[in-house]
């Protein structure tokens, strides 16, 4: 419903703007002059006939009518792209694209992954504790699964569907030698990597 209101409002604004512009007022004056009796029969003819003016404004109006909904639809798409859900989905796709199938090493369960990647914040500095809180990590004095990436881990687990698998992954040896190595946990769905958490980089 709101879209139709915006479209109709846009048409009205375009129409008013065109008629209140100098060319629009000139067109109205010339139209009245052509339809009514000529006040000065000896006046020189216009440079352009009336039908060309009408055709020009009809063309401009048609283009505006066609483009306005398209621009509105594009704006609506942009709004949808900037929602928290869309941003999170973009992040998952971006992370997944950085992990190759050949890097998958061992299948692992949720419980095994959490136990293997517990992080103890007991002896951390106040600055690192503040950073953890800023990232939404709940500090209770107990070890936290995946440390600073605890929220990402929770989101990954919450997004799991029936049949999904967790795999440990690590890039090839030459990647580590060239300071481009990555390792972590990948979420695999129907044979495709759909999300991951990076635990080590070189």
Angle between helices 22-35 and 50-81 (to 10 degrees): 140
Q: How far apart are CA 188 and CA 57, in angstroms?
A: 58
Residues of the chain with pLDDT under 70: 1-54, 57, 61, 64, 68, 79-82
| pLDDT value of residue 35 | 47
Q: How far apart are CA 53 and CA 101, in angstroms?
A: 64
Among 148, 163, 134, 162, CA closest to 197: 148
pLDDT in tens, 64-92: 677 767 777 777 777 666 677 777 777 78
Domain-wise residue ranges, the chain: 2-82, 85-201
The b/e string for 18-32 (b: 16+ C-beta within 10 A; e otherwise) is beeeeeeeebeebee
């Amino acid at each position: 419903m709101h879209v139709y209101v915006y479209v109709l409002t846009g048409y009205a604004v375009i129409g008013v703007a065109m008629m209140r512009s100098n060319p629009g007022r000139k067109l109205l004056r010339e139209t009245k002059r052509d339809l009514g009796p000529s006040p000065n029969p000896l006046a020189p003819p216009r440079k352009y006939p009336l039908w060309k003016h009408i055709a020009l404004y009809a063309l401009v109006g048609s283009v505006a009518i066609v483009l306005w909904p398209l621009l509105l639809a594009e704006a609506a798409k942009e709004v949808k792209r900037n929602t928290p859900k869309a941003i999170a989905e973009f992040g998952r796709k971006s992370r997944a694209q950085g992990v190759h199938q050949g890097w998958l090493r061992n299948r692992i369960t949720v419980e095994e992954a959490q136990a293997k990647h517990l992080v103890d914040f007991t002896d951390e500095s106040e600055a690192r504790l503040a950073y953890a809180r800023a990232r939404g990590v709940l500090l209770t004095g107990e070890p936290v699964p995946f440390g600073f990436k605890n929220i990402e881990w929770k989101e990954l687990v919450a997004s799991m569907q029936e049949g999904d698998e967790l795999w440990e992954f690590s890039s090839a040896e030459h990647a580590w030698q060239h300071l481009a190595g990555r390792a972590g946990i990948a979420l695999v769905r129907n044979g495709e990597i759909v999300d991951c958490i990076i635990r080590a980089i070189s």
